[in-house]
Amino acid sequence: MEGLPTRIQLVEVAPRDGLQVEARALDTETKLDLLTRLADAGHTVIETTSFVSPKAVPQLADAEDLLRALKRRAGVRYPVLVPNERGLERALSVGVDEIAVFASASESYSHKNLNRSRADALAGYTPVVRRAKDARLRVRGYLSMVIADPWDGPTAAATVVDCCRQLIDMGCDDLSLGDTSGVGTAAEVDTLLTALAEGGVERTRVAMHFHDTYGQALTNVLAAMRRGITTFDASTGGIGGSPFARMAGGNLATEDLLWLCRGSGIATGVDLDRIVETSHWLGEELAHELPAHTARALRDRAPER
Amino acid sequence: MEGLPTRIQLVEVAPRDGLQVEARALDTETKLDLLTRLADAGHTVIETTSFVSPKAVPQLADAEDLLRALKRRAGVRYPVLVPNERGLERALSVGVDEIAVFASASESYSHKNLNRSRADALAGYTPVVRRAKDARLRVRGYLSMVIADPWDGPTAAATVVDCCRQLIDMGCDDLSLGDTSGVGTAAEVDTLLTALAEGGVERTRVAMHFHDTYGQALTNVLAAMRRGITTFDASTGGIGGSPFARMAGGNLATEDLLWLCRGSGIATGVDLDRIVETSHWLGEELAHELPAHTARALRDRAPER
């Protein structure tokens, strides 16, 4: 299909962005099992855990134990989320080689999620990223609410461009732009990505991170692909979402994205059947139905190709 | 967004294609209420019921009563499904002015759903359509399994083109092409629509009808829009699907399509808030959670724009 890439890079976020909002705590062994399954399926970038305060996210309180026990596989990157210098020191103490920092393109969400203004949050990351780069870590910059914010309304594309530039200037190697509340639609994604290109943000640095709150996630991926984006965050089973109740939508499901890619001739290196199997297993571990369509369809014996 | 239409026509299929697979029977009054709500929301084409055998689809056994009681609104079309000449006579007896016939592009589904070969089914519709046109009815031709069939595998685009031509030649005014099992993806839709255009099937005659079994429905709409299709079937709440268990995916949800259109500047004439309200009401009438994302998100107080 005209304008579609022949290959995309997936960033699997279920172990961190997915699990962090799950009510049922998984033990470290089960998380290791999940990481193994995801790597076995062919994932090469797996967001592994978070070094935020264990009080804020109890599900990921075992970050050090998890990293110490993890048998890292050659060719697989295991980034972790880091909120500040203290989190970075914790991550460095267990030998991570890639971190992600997370800012917001909107003021309200920055205050709610980070307890700081957007500008203060970005400024606060500058020494974190510098220290990480000094330690030769790869650094990803997350930016939330790039389309709109539930409290502030639409996010100006110019603001997103400015935040992207700041993240790159402080040393981020690449960016993940999140439509955190999932309100965005294809034309809005197209407009944002046009503004980013015009603003000089290289598309090879940009991943898109969509939520399926309004059923738009995969459609937005298609729109982004047509603007040259080739890296997408996705979560096996579609688990995840914001801890704030008003933004309840799950992440884009890895298996639904893989279904699109397989049918449309876009290589990912990730095996659909193994992801579906992992999704079924994860649903049992979490003891609830997961939102992914494809895993449910195949479990219910919907037609194969 | 480049390549997107400024306006599309929706065909609301919840009262027929949606309800026919629902376990809980709605009474005629409730169906009339549904039709009123859908017209109040701005729908101008509402597939109303079916004149198939009441034994085959007990939910729609009240087709005559429903049509007699229906206060048809100026500017709103109320097509009904008709399987054969007997069904057409029943429909004519209550004064319908638009019918739809339904064929399959694949052999196996034709046998399972219509108990006849594809060729026999198409031949059987010829006198039905002729009689309908003689009676000055508008006629829509449904074609199922245009991407693949669960039993036969991929459907050749040339076969779809041939079936479309036969339906047009026998007098169908327009067509609705269904990815009935929901397996199709964006590039496959693109390929099919390219073949249809090359085969001389006018795109203004073609509606697309997608199911969300694998979460691809809305993404396929976007792909079809970019190929010039401007009519789409959708079902409020996302209800519907095939009576065959192996094809369990619901129809594309009207409210999810409306969310895309509102955000992307595509006019529909249909009011999102009223459809969401109708979806909530319908879920209560049917006593189960409906698959539409947008209705659930707004019920759960997910962020508005």
- Whether residue B182 and residue A302 make contact (CB cut-off 8 A), yes or no, is yes
- Which tokens sit at B239? 């209800």
Percent of chain A with pLDDT over 70: 96
Provide the shortest C-alpha distance from residue B228 to chain A (in Å): 14
* Cα–Cα distance for residue pair A295/A276, rounded to 1 Å: 5
Q: What are the pLDDT digits (tens) for B52-99?
A: 999 989 999 999 999 999 999 999 999 999 999 999 999 999 999 999
Collapsing DSSP to helix, strand or coil, B12 comes out as: strand
| Of A270, A267, A271, the residue nearest A6 (C-alpha) | A267
- Pairing outcome for strands B231-234 and B9-12: parallel
Flag whether pLDDT at B216 surpasses 90: yes
- Which tokens sit at A133? 């780069």
| Of B226, B257, B103, the residue nearest A222 (C-alpha) | B226
What would the mean pLDDT of A165-192 be, rounded to a whole number?
Answer: 97
Output A265 or B298, whichever has higher pLDDT. Answer: A265
- Give the relative orientation of helices B217-225 and B254-264 as an angle to the nearest 10 degrees: 40
What would the mean pLDDT of A35-50 be, rounded to a whole number?
Answer: 98
Burial class (CB in 10 A: 0-12, 13-18, 19+), B116: middle
Q: Out of A191, A215, A260, whose CB is closest to B256?
A: A215
- Whether residue B301 and residue A245 make contact (CB cut-off 8 A), yes or no, is yes
- Whether residue B305 and residue A148 make contact (CB cut-off 8 A), yes or no, is yes
Closest-approach residue (CA) in chain A for B295: A214
The pLDDT value recorded for residue A241 is: 76
Which chain A residues contact residue B213 at CB under 8 A? Answer: 293, 297, 302
Closest-approach residue (CA) in chain B for A254: B215
The pLDDT value recorded for residue A245 is: 45
User: What structural domains and CATH numbers belong to chain B?
Assistant: 9-299 (3.20.20.70)
Contacts across the A-B interface (CB distance below 8 Å)? 166
Q: What are the pLDDT digits (tens) for B172-190?
A: 999 999 999 999 999 999 9
DSSP B301: T
Output A190 or A298, whichever has higher pLDDT. Answer: A190
What would the mean pLDDT of B117-138 be, rounded to a whole number?
Answer: 97
Q: Out of A187, A215, A300, whose CB is closest to B248?
A: A300
Percent of chain B with pLDDT over 70: 96
Provide the shortest C-alpha distance from residue B187 to chain A (in Å): 5
Q: Hunting for tokens 């991943």 — which residue is that? A: A207
Distance between alpha carbon A5 and the CA centroid of its chain, in Å?
20
Flag whether pLDDT at A156 surpasses 50: yes
- Give the relative orientation of helices A272-286 and A28-40 as an angle to the nearest 10 degrees: 170
Q: Which of B256, B260, B304 to mutate to test the interface with A (most CBs of A within 10 A)?
A: B260
Flag whether pLDDT at A303 surpasses 90: no
Flag whether pLDDT at B170 surpasses 80: yes
Flag whether pLDDT at A162 surpasses 60: yes
A4 touches chain B (CB under 8 A): yes
Q: What are the pLDDT digits (tens) for B224-256?
A: 999 999 999 999 999 997 655 455 579 999 999
- Whether residue A215 and residue B218 make contact (CB cut-off 8 A), yes or no, is yes
Q: Do residues A182 and B256 make contact, with C-beta atoms less than 8 angstroms apart?
A: no
Residues 102..161 of B with a Cβ closer than 8 Å to A: which? 148-151, 153-154
Closest-approach residue (CA) in chain A for B246: A302
Flag whether pLDDT at A43 surpasses 90: yes
Flag whether pLDDT at A188 surpasses 90: yes
In the beta sheet, which residues pair with residue B9? B231
Q: What are the pLDDT digits (tens) for B16-57?
A: 999 998 989 999 999 999 999 999 999 999 999 999 999 989
Q: What are the pLDDT digits (tens) for A240-280?
A: 976 554 555 799 999 999 999 999 999 999 999 999 999 99
The pLDDT value recorded for residue B248 is: 57
φ, ψ of residue A73 in degrees (nearest 5)? -100, 140
- Whether residue B222 and residue A153 make contact (CB cut-off 8 A), yes or no, is no
Which chain A residues contact residue B245 at CB under 8 A? Answer: 300-301
- Pairing outcome for strands A153-154 and A148-149: antiparallel
DSSP B25: P
